Structure 1
Amino acid sequence: MKKYLSRLTTRTKLQLAVVMSIALVLIPVLLLLNATSTQTIVVLIIALPVGWIVSGLLTQSVNSGIQALETGLLNFKDGEFSSLLAYSAQDELGHLCQIYNQTAEQLRQEKQWIYQRELMLDKVLQSSPQALVLIDSTDHVVFSNLSANRLFASDLRLEGLTRDALYQTAHAQIKQAMESGRDGLFHLKHDSDEVQTWHLSTGQFLLNNHLHHLYIFKQLTRELSRQEVAVWKKVIRIISHELNNSLGPMSSLLHSGQLLSQNLEEPRLGRVFSTMQERISHLNEFVQGYGKFAKLPQPKFEKVAWQALLESVAQEWSFQLEGQLPKTPCYADKIQLSQLLINLLKNAHESDSQLRDITIRIEAKQSGTQAGTLISVSDAGRGMSETVMANALVPFYSTKASGSGLGLALCREIAEAHHGQLSLHNRGDGQSGLVVKVFIPS
């Protein structure tokens, strides 16, 4: 009986309660009035249906309110907060429906706010230079950004791939770093680019009661290079300051000594003063050259006219132009770009290459998702060993007896000031020589 009653609606229960109450009241009254059995049955037959009908009419609003609340709660269950309840009777159920509508409106606004935040967060994560990969407990990728696609050399989205499928297009160093499960640095060596330094951060957390692993890859090559250059610049500024403090008094004393020795007939003093003057001049040029690297100004971007720029560079160093000049515009600092080409051509001429083997190629290029201009300066010298190539861009490093070790370092500084990059490559296909590539983004 109890199980059967539990299946009845609230309205039906109320109607049954009314009918039973009528029966419980009428039967004792009829007995007190000495009504016959027939009269009692007739009264009950009339009273009970009337009570059922009247109670049904009175509880109709209750049924409507309960149905409205049930529909609303089902909407909540499905995550739908935009539907409001139309029940507006001035009773307790109407008050509950009003509270429901207020709650639904608040939840709808919060859902829209969270949705906007998710869009913003997704935009930030997708445009982040750091590569992000999230893998669930079944070893499937559930989230990745565009930087991760580039890192894993995939043209398609990584979501849905298993961990093993993810490793198929990745470098062995990436797999080794991820499998180690530790935070730390690792290096990627590309066929056409310099060695890149990356940092991997790992973490794990529960999402929907399932363990997820997060991998964050950050490229530190440029940051380490920037810090290295900053240290060298500080050293250079200190050295230049100390040399300037000494060169000024030395020049003054030298001039005074030359004046005092004019009346002395001592040819050796002339040679001494001449040597001192030569060394002071050399030191001045030395300080000025290093100061140019330490105090490189911010580039002034303007449209580059390649033909005019190359003609001015050709007055300093000769070269052969390969291919056609690009038609797409390039914006850069003409003075700094000219200095970069002069330094690279100077190195090419000092590599004992023939004039016909010293070439410049300028072409429009796409580096990843970034469009720009690629400048390649080639020679036919001996090229560079791995040791020399690893240190060639470090200030003060030079394999030449009279070299300052600043030419390539200054070129790299100019390229990075233009938000580009410089890389060194030995020529392949059985040819000896070096190719210096400079990419300047549009």
Structure 2
Amino acid sequence: MRVLRVLPIAVRMVAIAVAGIAATAAATAVLARWLQPWAAALVAAGIVAAIVATVIWRALVPMRALFRALAGTVASYRDGDFSFGITWDKASDLIELVDAHNALGTALREQRLALVQRELLLDTMVQNTPVAMVLVDAARRVVLGNLAARRMLGDGRRLEGRAFEDLLGTADPAVREAFARGGDGMFTVGDADDEDIYHLSRRRFRLNGRIHELVLLRQLTAELRRQEVQTWKKVIRVISHELNNSLAPIASLAHSSAELLRRGQTERLPEALATIEDRARHLEGFIRDYARFAKLPAPRTVPVPWRRFAGQLATQVGFTLDLQPEDGIGRFDAAQLEQALLNLLKNAHESGSPADAVRLSIRRTPEDWRIDVLDRGSGMNDAVLANALLPFYSTKRHGTGLGLALAREIAEAHGGRIALLNRQGGGLCVSMVLPA
């Protein structure tokens, strides 16, 4: 097909060549009357060559103009300008190339318009989101800052091009402290009467081959206030329930004891007083657990050999130890971590697991320590797994719902995390990760 399309041009060239040969022969015959035969032929050939060159040049000029136009539009496409097109009204097979080129320009123009519309929509969403967003390049200069970020870090002024460290230097001290700690976390801005709670999130990624950091500052005050109210309502219900369960029998037994004394029936008094003591001690332990959870101090981390720590723990609850490496040394608050692991190991024994199937695994990973408490009990269904780490959530009849919540609080206070998952073959794995 390509050969057939160029045939008209080739035919025209052959026709020009044949005409040139015929004209050369005729001119040679005419000039031979006045000049020598060789001179006549030379002059005739020159004249005909000039004529043929002129004819060919005039035939190729439109195509050269078309090729220049094609090159110009390609250069415009490369620069992102798709508004150009080519008009070619000459009857030739090049019209197909022109039409294809114009169709390409139309497709690129439509794609560019759609892309611009999507970018406009995305920019509108980013600028108007209540989450403060700041994009920082490898030189620690701000590439993008939305409206919320301008209000929080720049007094309403544009942030682009400014040094991020300079912005932090003029920010609230709580903001600077949150960034100095590194990683994600929550912080409070303001005083007790007027405070706002924020969550800081930082993510690094490559953009155009260079490292960038996306900083997100989300205000959680209203959401946390609602959750705080719900939590307090739940706390009041739980405490009221426990107090009633203990105080009602204590009051009843005290009244009964007084009546027995009045009647002189003292033989039943020891049993009543023992029950009162039992309920009072239960109530004392309940209040003590709540106080411990509410007043958990900041951990005092020191180097601790895992072998020695596990030996002390084994004197209080049974388990099988898997420690790798054997001479590993962690950095943590021994008293707090002991309390957390005691709760987890006791839960493992209470899960219905055989005592010899309760295992404590402590392993060193490249970046942290992983502590797993494993059992072969009944495990947890999806609903319990989703809520087990929440304070005051318990499936036990007399449980306070603080054991797993306290373990989570201790892990997060150390800069770690905790997770629960069911094991294949039955049982539960409570996995705690602590920084090395």
- Scaled by the length of structure 2, the TM-score of the pair is 0.46
Q: TM-score, normalised by structure 1?
A: 0.45
